[in-house]
Structure 1
Amino acid sequence: MRRITEGDFARIVNLGLPQRLEDIEATRYDPRPFDMAEGAQTFERPVVERLLRRSYRDVAFRRKVRDAYDYRCAISGLRLRNGGGRPEVQAAHIRPVEHQGSDSVRNGLALSGTLHWMFDRGLISVADDHSILVSRNKVPADVVDRLLSPGGRLIPPRDPRDAPHPENLRWHRENVFGQIATGDLAW
């Protein structure tokens, strides 16, 4: 390696880059100038057929889990319905399908969308005694206070036979809870 003069450096750059580089870059992604009078354009999208390989999921899992918890979030206790009267609670796998989790009700929790997201990312979990565990170094206290049911315990399903299996809860705590990197979160 050797030092080069500013003149040599300028000559190398000028040989390698076009003289109108700024103009070229300015029109690279939108070659037409912006025009407010331009009408909305329709776009005919191509239809693509795709063969997909993924683990089979029982379509009844969602219905069974939501029904078992009476369409109530097992962590917040909220029973929300949308404008059409449909429940907003989701069915979350405790041990995910891609990690050989079953579609049994005992491998599911009825959770609101936000808590489902937090559960899947290891920000919250459930202890054997059904107390709710929170990764406090990643979840602000005010968020915890707003989202968890008073008492900080899982709201059980109507039928005790549908309660989460202890092995599934253990698997989640050991393999998901607290595993996400803090840089992956956007608060």
Structure 2
Amino acid sequence: MTKLVLLHKADSIYDDEPDVVYDFPRNYLKAVKEAVGDWVIYYEPVKAGPRGYFAVAKIDRVLPKPGVDGRYLAMIEPGSFLPLDTEVPRLIDGSPLEQSLAEPDGTPKRGGAVQLAVRRIPDTDFERIVRLGLPADLEIQEAKRYDPRKSQIDEVSAVFERPVLERLTRRPYRDVAFRRKVRAAYGYRCAMSGLMLRNGGGRPEVQAAHIRPVEYKGSDSIRNGLALSGTLHWMFDRGLISVASDGETILVSRNKVPGAVVDRLLQPDGKILTPKDQNDWPHPANLAWHRENIFGQLESDGPAPWD
């Protein structure tokens, strides 16, 4: 197996959806097949946007693209995609993070591998980029973020750095990374109520909800997330509310949710707020999955918050 860098443009004309599939031509087939079962890191070229290295994922399998000769699809392992907490630039102090893109004196190469849409990356380079984008102490950073009293939190954990690949598969770590990205994308504001509430210590009350749950092969992409208050998160997970096919109208299970609750909790126009960056808007496929599999279909597992 081998690790890869995959170039991705948000406005790609190909069937790319980074947390689901990567579309590529035949000349990269050998390299991508070598990477099946291993990790890749996504990179946005400078001319396409400012993100640089922005996410990791694992390749599950490779398939010929139906109806298109000479193109293939790298299918992403469900649940493996994870955005970097901090996007990482290609150059640091003027030198590329990838050894293959640097001259012997550390300056950037021109042409060659720089122009490849798929390129192999050594484990050392991959791990260096991941450490910069997903630091080992991310959970501790988040715990201390709004509570300085936690500066002494778990000192043993603070000095113990888990191996990079173990970090990428730990659910508690991924939950923190997902929450940070989703809440930031929505400006720490609930997508359905429009409220931005903070507790006495300044901690945002808004939570990060998976649209398609992880246990049902949902990803940790921002596009599979909604920033919701605790009550609305509870309602969303139990199918009492959803989002219509237009991507903005809030659907309500009216036979289960009192009108007074709707009036109190939801925005007056009945539409969700979306992130400023359109690339972070909820993906239509994820919203459709929620409507078809969760909305109006689950029984409540206890009293509602308004009872």
**TM-score normalised by structure 1 residue count:** 0.68
How many residue pairs get aligned? The number is: 134
Residue in structure 1 matched with residue 132 of structure 2 by the alignment: none
Report the CA distance shift for 1:115/1:103 in structure 2 as closer, same or farther (over 3 A): same
Partner of 1:18: none
Do structure 1's residue 132 and structure 2's residue 250 form an aligned pair? yes
Greater relative contact order (Cα 8 A, min sep 6): structure 1 or 2? 1
SS of match in other structure, 1:170:
helix
> Percent identity, aligned pairs only?
72
From 181, 197, 207, the counterpart of 1:64: 181
Q: Which of 151, 159, 164 matches 2:277?
A: 159
Give the structure with the larger strand fraction.
2
Please tell me whether Structure 1 or Structure 2 has the larger radius of gyration of its CA atoms: 1
> Given residue 179 of structure 2, which amino acid in structure 1 is its aligned partner?
R
Aligned to 1:17: none
Q: Which of 259, 262, 274 lines up with 1:141 in the alignment? A: 259
**How does the TM-score come out when normalised to structure 2?**
0.42
Superposition RMSD on alpha carbons, in Å?
Answer: 1.7
Partners of 1:138 and 1:182 within 8 A in 2: no
Tell me how far 1:86 sits from its aligned partner: 1.1
The Cα shift of 1:185 comes to 4.1
Q: Go from structure 1 to structure 2 and tell me whether the alpha carbon gap of 1:56 and 1:147 turns closer, same or farther (over 3 Å shift).
A: same
d(CA) in 2 for partners of 1:123 and 1:55?
30
Q: CA deviation at 1:149?
A: 0.6
Q: Tell me which residue corresponds to 2:215.
A: 98
SS of match in other structure, 1:136: coil
Q: Choose which of 195, 200, 211 in structure 2 pairs with 1:83.
A: 200
Q: Is the 8 A contact 1:55 1:98 kept in 2?
A: no
- Segments of 5+ residues of structure 1 without an aligned counterpart are 1-53
Shift of 1:181: 2.7
What residue in structure 1 maps to residue 225 of structure 2? 108
Q: What is the deviation of 1:56? A: 3.3
- Separation in 2 of the partners of 1:140 and 1:55? 39
CA offsets 1:112-171 (integer angstroms, 9 cap, x no match): 000000000000000121100000000000000000112000111121110000000000
Which residue does the alignment assign to 1:180?
298
Distance 1:87 1:183, change over 3 A: closer
Distance 1:55 1:177 in 2: 29
- What amino acid sits opposite 1:73 in the alignment? C
Question: In 2, are the aligned partners of 1:91 and 1:108 still within 8 Å (CA)?
Answer: yes
Mapping 1:19-34, distance limit 5 Å: none
Structure 2 distance, partners of 1:60, 1:93, is 13
CA distance in 2 between counterparts of 1:150 and 1:67 reads 23
Helix, strand or coil at the partner of 1:158: coil
Tell me how far apart the structure 2 counterparts of residues 116 and 134 of structure 1 sit (CA, whole Å): 13
Q: Does 1:121 align with 2:248?
A: no
Looking at structure 2, the residues matched to 150 and 81 of structure 1 have their Cα atoms a distance apart, in angstroms, of 22
Query: How far, CA to CA, are the matches of 2:283 and 2:299 in structure 1?
Result: 27
